[in-house]
Amino acid sequence: MKVLLIDPKVDLPIDVRSSPSLGLAYLAAVSEQRGDEVRVLDMQVEATPLRQVVSEFPPDVVGITATTIQIERAWLVARELGQMTEAPIVLGGSHPTVLAAESVQMPGVDAVVRGEGEQTWVEVCERLENGGSLQGVAGVTYERDGEIVHNPDRPMMENVDTLPFPAYHLFKMEGYSNLQPTLDDVKGPSYPILSSRGCPYRCNYCAQILPRGWRARSPESVVSEWQWLVDDLGAAEIGVLDDSFNIDRQRVLDICDRLIAEGLNHVPWIMINGIRANLVDQELLLRMREAGCIRTAFGVESGNQRILDEVIHKQLTLDQVRAAFRAAKAVGMETIGFFIIGLPGETEETMEDTIRFACELDPVVANFSMATPFPGTEMYEQVKQVGRLLVHDWHEFAFFENKAQFETDEMPAELVERKWREAYRRFYLRPHRVARTVLRRRTWLELPRTVRMAWKTVVSS
């Protein structure tokens, strides 16, 4: 079959061309394994008009991925494609997974794949190839005789080592920048890697679409992909995209030992976000550093223990966070801290605690986002109960837009927006921060670029 996989454009005032969609790269790989011919269209990096793509590569099936901010674009693409081809059009990804009925009713959309996609996609393609219906295919939502049918959920794949490596050869890799633009440029391509799937925690803001739980790839599997990225694809940097990389401490140590043994530790790698601060210690971070990890990012979220415990359910203490940052700095890693301003239940005082805590931790980059209630999250339900949503279109659900997305009586939008702006100002304009930024660069001429890079880093995760 001819399989067309599409990543619709993202409506953000920032550059999100940081990496190819790993979800599509995995789907493309399992399609190729089936013997399909695959064309990937990432509309963020490729401007080829849809009509041209379809006439050059008439698809038998189309798959479109979408997060919440992309979903309206995905519907538009489905509608346009529906007028150009008879091929069934299937949507998947973070947004359609939680609101499958909404998408399946859109013009052009034939089905939605919910949750983890690889096995469902293969089964959908088999059915379509044989002219069969989608009846009973686990994880699929579709319309039959005007009725929306939600087939049962698909049980999680047990052995994630069995997946093929992502099919990057189908992406225009030169169109991507690097995963987390750093203050120092990466000389060469930057690739993501996913060493585990899911998360055993359930934070109230997280739009995790997998059921609670964690499945890890073996160190052998992870390091063989790593080797392939470095030796065959020429990776100059690797970004670990896991939600929870370090649930199993021994596995991390084993991965690091293998990276060192294989001589892969000369290629820098970075933790994009998924490392639990309560599960790190200096010995672990030191081994990661020896294995090439130059930067780690911790999800801190709040500087107020009550908010962490009662609102977010983060299962993390402020002292654990302090210890994690201390340990990371002690082993010579750059640090990034993620913070959220304006969670339900916050007051000016708790937001103040977060700003002060960020300054105390003093990471290289502090990333403050305004709380965004993604559909399917506990926060979305809380906001519907105790607050007022101020955004109405899905593309507005982005958290770096200078705009609070909800408010409560105790926490008006104006207050959240003011504290968010204040957070950036107070963190970055402390004299030693300004001095550090200036001293880090060789000349003043590089300063505008440094500021641009810092801003990109801040807004890209």
DSSP-assigned states of every residue in 266-303: GS-EEE-S-B-GGG--HHHHHHHHHTTEEEEEEEEE-S
Q: How far apart are CA 172 and CA 149, in angstroms?
A: 37
Nearest one of 345, 397, 406, 401 to 374, comparing CA atoms: 397
Residue 246 found at the interface with ligand B12 (CB under 6 A)? no
Binders of ligand B12 in range 44-73 (CB under 6 A):
63-65, 67-70
The alpha carbon of residue 6 and the mean position of all alpha carbons in its chain are separated, in whole angstroms, by 17
Within 8 A by CB and 6+ apart from 84, the residues are 50, 51, 54
Residue 406 found at the interface with ligand B12 (CB under 6 A)? no
Token code pair at residue 41: 């269209």
Answer for which of 59, 82, 88, 93 binds ligand B12 (CB under 6 A) is: 93
Minimum distance, C-beta of residue 11 to ligand B12, in the bound complex (Å): 9
Residue 118 found at the interface with ligand B12 (CB under 6 A)? yes
Minimum distance, C-beta of residue 46 to ligand B12, in the bound complex (Å): 14
Q: Which residues pair with 237 in a beta bridge?
A: 190
Residue 23 found at the interface with ligand B12 (CB under 6 A)? yes
| Identity of the residue, 160 or 361, whose beta carbon is nearer to ligand B12 in the bound complex | 160
| Identity of the residue, 160 or 321, whose beta carbon is nearer to ligand B12 in the bound complex | 160
| Identity of the residue, 271 or 333, whose beta carbon is nearer to ligand B12 in the bound complex | 271
Answer for which of 85, 190, 195, 460 binds ligand B12 (CB under 6 A) is: 460
The alpha carbon of residue 241 and the mean position of all alpha carbons in its chain are separated, in whole angstroms, by 7
Residue 298 found at the interface with ligand B12 (CB under 6 A)? no
Answer for which of 241, 259, 307, 321 binds ligand B12 (CB under 6 A) is: 241
Within 8 A by CB and 6+ apart from 450, the residues are 183, 437, 440, 441
Token code pair at residue 219: 């160190």
Q: CB–CB of 325/333 below 8 Å?
A: no
| Identity of the residue, 199 or 252, whose beta carbon is nearer to ligand B12 in the bound complex | 199
Q: How far apart are CA 97 and CA 71, in angstroms?
A: 11
User: CA 415, 418, 423, 426 torsion: positive or negative?
Assistant: negative
Minimum distance, C-beta of residue 203 to ligand B12, in the bound complex (Å): 9
Q: How far apart are CA 192 and CA 149, in angstroms?
A: 35
Q: Which residues pair with 143 in a beta bridge?
A: 148
Answer for which of 142, 399, 406, 420 binds ligand B12 (CB under 6 A) is: 399
Q: What's the DSSP call for residue 228?
A: I
| Identity of the residue, 325 or 399, whose beta carbon is nearer to ligand B12 in the bound complex | 399
Stretch in the footprint of ligand B12 (CB under 6 A) among 86-94, 182-190, 216-224, 255-263: 86-94
| Identity of the residue, 65 or 304, whose beta carbon is nearer to ligand B12 in the bound complex | 65
Answer for which of 38, 87, 206, 366 binds ligand B12 (CB under 6 A) is: 206
- Strand 406-407 and strand 111-113: the pairing is unpaired
Stretch in the footprint of ligand B12 (CB under 6 A) among 200-208, 250-258, 289-297, 409-417: 200-208
Residue 10 found at the interface with ligand B12 (CB under 6 A)? yes
| Identity of the residue, 275 or 327, whose beta carbon is nearer to ligand B12 in the bound complex | 275
Minimum distance, C-beta of residue 20 to ligand B12, in the bound complex (Å): 6
Minimum distance, C-beta of residue 169 to ligand B12, in the bound complex (Å): 17
Residue 461 found at the interface with ligand B12 (CB under 6 A)? yes
The 10 Å CB-count burial string (b at 16+, else e) for 9-24 is: bbebeeebebbbbbbb
Answer for which of 99, 122, 208, 359 binds ligand B12 (CB under 6 A) is: 208
Provide the terminal-to-terminal Cα distance of the chain, rounded to the nearest Å: 35
- Which single residue is written with the structure tokens 């983890």? 116
Residues interacting with ligand B12, by CB under 6 A?
Answer: 10, 16, 18-19, 21-23, 26-27, 63-65, 67-70, 90, 92-95, 113, 116-118, 121, 194, 206-209, 241, 243, 374, 398-400, 460-461
